[in-house]
Amino acid sequence: MDTTGTLFLPPANSTIAPEVDALFQFILVTSIIFFLIVVGGTAYFIYKYRKKGKDGFTADISENRTLEIIWTVIPIILVFIIFFWGFKTYLKMHVPPAETIQIKATGQKWFWQFDYDNGASSTNDLVVPVGKPVELLLSSQDVVHSFYVPNFRIKMDVLPNRYTVTWFEAPRQGEYDLFCAEFCGTSHSKMIGKVKVVSEREYNEWLEASSNPGEGLSLEEYGAKLYQSKACVTCHSIDGSPNIGPTLSGLIGRTEQFTDGSSLSADENYIRESILNPQAKVVKGYQPVMPTYQGILKDKEIDALVTYIKSLNKTGE
Ligand code: CUA
């Protein structure tokens, strides 16, 4: 298997990748050959039948049945080869094997959320064991996203109100880029993550640790971790600079003006409401683009985030 990549393709790191690449190479080489035939033929005929002198006219050619059959039949055969080859690989990519590790993947503006069997969850980092088929059940909380891992050669639309399925098996450990391949709004380009392929032992340890992620941390430390891991950081700075959303620095006690004309001195309840029902109060000058975290964050996690945001008043401005 190709581990270095080529001019046209990144390194291949899934069991399906060689098949996809072979088809790609076949289409590429066929296209180059026909490009040369067409361009070479055109150049040859331009030269051969150029106007020679004042009375040099080209012969009147009306028909050549043999030629017409050849240039009809050969492309038809090629199109059929590409179709059946592509369809066979397409089915393989979209019908998971019987025994898989099932993970729920949710796309949301603008991060990925992964939920595992034992209740563990992760944001933007998908952790999977090496050499095991992994099946992803995909859906979106808002608009259309697309789950794209170039190294695995898989790309699948992620739709609201409907599930899609894809699967892969990574034969080698490593970290592979994960992108959103469907333009989904302002921070589409920040909707990136990693697929972390680890040994089975590491995977089980990770699952164990992630099912109880706040263990051994103070609420504030846990909140700081969640601020990163739940992708708050994508839109809210902690250094006072505005981003997609208002900065969290100095938030408690700050008087926020809202788009409906009302205002309020930010407190714990306002933060909680903004996490669970972000459209209830939208700060003036910002778009109502924050997704709800209802059903994504547990109460303890919200407590931790509120505690962390409060702590920013002490360290911040
Ligand atoms: Cu999600 Cu682009």
For the CA of 188, the nearest atom of ligand 1: 2
Last residue of a domain, one of 210, 231, 257: 210
Answer whether residue 270 is part of any domain. Answer: yes
Ligand 1 center to residue 144 CA distance, Å? 7
In a domain, 251, yes or no: yes
Q: What is the CATH number of the domain that holds 143?
A: 2.60.40.420
Give yes or no: residues 115 and 65 share one domain: no
Are 229 and 187 in the same domain?
Answer: no
Ligand 1 center to residue 68 CA distance, Å?
47
Q: How confident is the model at residue 263 (pLDDT cuts 50, 70, 90)?
A: confident
- 58 and 47 in contact (C-beta within 8 Å)? no
pLDDT at 2 over 50: no
| Domain-located, residue 82 | yes
pLDDT, tens only, 101-147: 999 999 988 889 999 988 788 888 999 999 999 999 999 988 999 99
DSSP annotation string for 141-186: SSS-EEEEEGGGTEEEEE-BTS-EEEEEE--S-EEEEEEE-S--ST
Return phi, psi of residue 169, to 5°: -135, 120
- pLDDT 10s digits, 42-98: 999 999 888 777 777 777 778 889 999 998 999 999 999 999 999 999 999 888 998
Atom of ligand 1 nearest to the CA of 145: 1
- Give the percent of the chain with pLDDT over 70: 97
- Residue 163 tokens, joined: 């599930």
Residues 105 and 205 in one domain: yes
d(CA 43, CA 20): 34
Please give the structure tokens belonging to residue 134.
């992994």
Burial class from Cβ neighbours inside 10 Å (0-12, 13-18, 19+) for residue 173 reads: middle
pTM of the prediction?
0.70
Indicate which residue's Cα is closest to atom 1 of ligand 1: 145
Pocket of ligand 1 (CB under 6 A): 107, 110, 145, 180, 182-184, 188, 191
Q: Which of 154, 210, 145 is nearest to 182 (CA)?
A: 145
155 CA → ligand 1 middle, Å = 12
Instruction: Output the pLDDT for position 29.
Output: 93
CA 291 to ligand 1 center in whole angstroms: 13
The answer to whether residue 1 is domain-embedded is: no
Q: Burial, 60: exposed, middle or buried (Cβ in 10 Å; 0-12, 13-18, 19+)?
A: exposed
The answer to whether residue 227 is domain-embedded is yes
In the chain, how many domains are there?
A: 3
Query: Which range marks the domain in which residue 154 is found?
Result: 101-210
pLDDT, residue 316, reads 44
